[in-house]
Amino acid sequence: MRTLLLGMGNPFLSDDAVGIRLVADFSRRHCNIAGLDIMEECTAGGLSLLDIIGGYDRLLVVDSIKTRDGIPGTWFRFTADRLRETIHLTNIHDANFATALSLGRLLGMKIPPDRAIHVIAVEVLDDLTFSETMTDTLEKAYPAFSEEIFLELRALLIQ
């Protein structure tokens, strides 16, 4: 089974880089897992993602999310069948992630089934400020939630 671990975000928008950082840190610790390809930094969205994820059996996406009254550092895991449109999985000039998946399948591309696409989304405080560093709030929470997420990723990879 071929699996792609994808770190999503923008490294220049403060907390939005959390997915990229998590995947890079996970990669340094667990880079020799059979069948696992790692793309630490992915800034593509919409239909452009099809070129990246095509041909894989399973997809693990690590990204940021900003919800109303969310607590920075909390995280969620869901599969693509429960995917809701967010600013990070949507490009306003392109199709959203769920639509891109459907179109790829309609065109006959080998795209993982929704149940094999796992999204881990970390609640962030600031995803709009130009900065190469995360906010102090998210930085302080990082050691705890990163270890939880690494355990979750390892568990998903042995399924």
With vertex at residue 79, the alpha carbon angle to CA 75 and CA 81, rounded to the nearest 5 degrees, is: 135
pLDDT tens, residue order, the chain (159 aa): 899 999 999 999 999 999 999 999 999 987 778 899 999 999 888 888 999 999 999 999 999 999 999 999 999 999 998 865 443 444 445 678 888 888 888 899 999 999 999 999 999 999 999 999 999 999 999 999 999 999 999 999 987
Beta-bridge mates of residue 8? 42
Task: Take residue 156 and report the two structure tokens written for it.
Answer: 């998903």
The pLDDT score that the predictor gives to residue 88 is 46
Beta bridge partners of 151: none
**SS3 sequence, the chain?**
CCEEEEEECCCCEHHHHHHHHHHHHHHHHCCCCCCEEEEEEECCCCCHHHHHHCCCCEEEEEEEECCCCCCCCCEEEEEHHHCCCCHHHCCCCCCCHHHHHHHHHHCCCCCCCHHHEEEEEEECCCCCCCECCCCHHHHHHHHHHHHHHHHHHHHHHCC
Tell me which residue of 7, 18, 6 sits closest to 146, measured CA to CA.
Answer: 18
3-157 to CATH, choices 3.40.50.1100, 3.40.50.150, 2.60.40.10, 3.40.50.1450: 3.40.50.1450
Please give the single-letter amino acid code of residue 110: K
Structure confidence at residue 94 (pLDDT): 62
Question: Domain-by-domain residue ranges, the chain?
Answer: 3-157
Which pLDDT score is estimated for 32? 79
Q: How far apart are CA 1 and CA 54, in angstroms?
A: 13
Nearest-Å Rg of the Cα atoms of the chain is 15
Closest by CA to 88, choosing from 63, 67, 119, 62, is 63
- 12-28 pLDDT tens trace: 999 999 999 999 999 99
